Amino acid sequence: MRTPFILMTALACVLTFSTACQNGEVKIDRSPLPMAAASPYICEHIPLKAVELMTGVRDPLVRGYFDLTVAGGLGDGSCAAYRRDGERLKVLQIGLTPGGYPGEIEEQLEDGALPLPEIVPGAIGFYFKDTNSKNNAAYAMLVRGKAEVAIQLNVGVAGRDNAADVLALMKLIAPKLITDASAPSPSPSTTAPHGKTPSPSPKG
């Protein structure tokens, strides 16, 4: 008379999605994102392993590309990752635009976003997890000059530190996407040209 017991066990599996039920559990991988970018990449610049860890989506559908030669060398483009099943929900969006400005970062920091560490010399940025999101959304943005890199994690993995994930991804991709064209201009030198003596300051 084992049949009722087997049926009850199977029903419990369906109702509770227990991990003990025939390996039916999808385990949460809390491994930190890689500290160094490595192939394979999506959109040529985004490490696939990092995307899979932070979204929980294996082998995502990918759309987009980056062109680092346009906009005077600042670059432009975007990359999006989607689930393959159901409605193919977009889980991650990364954008590079030549229209960023530091004031946008400063406003977010004043509103409580966390400051990014210096990832690219001369750049500033922020990151945060959306506490109102049911999908563990998190965001990060970095600006240097007119170049802006934005990360929008639409669907993060429950149980992971989603804010830390977007921070770690920014560390991996910003040095690749932020080109030398966005570097701040050197400050004008106050040193007199070679062979000349500065004129004395007027008295008065």
The residue ranking higher by pLDDT, 92 or 7, is 92
**pLDDT 10s digits, 110-169:** 999 999 999 999 999 999 999 999 999 999 999 999 999 999 999 999 999 999 999 999
Plot region of 11 (φ>0 → left; ψ -120 to 50 → alpha; else → beta): alpha
Torsion of CA 47, 52, 153, 142, to 10 degrees: -20
**pLDDT 10s digits, 57-106:** 999 999 999 999 999 999 999 999 999 999 999 999 999 999 888 999 99
Supply the pTM of this predicted model: 0.79
At residue 181, does pLDDT exceed 80? yes
The residue ranking higher by pLDDT, 103 or 17, is 103
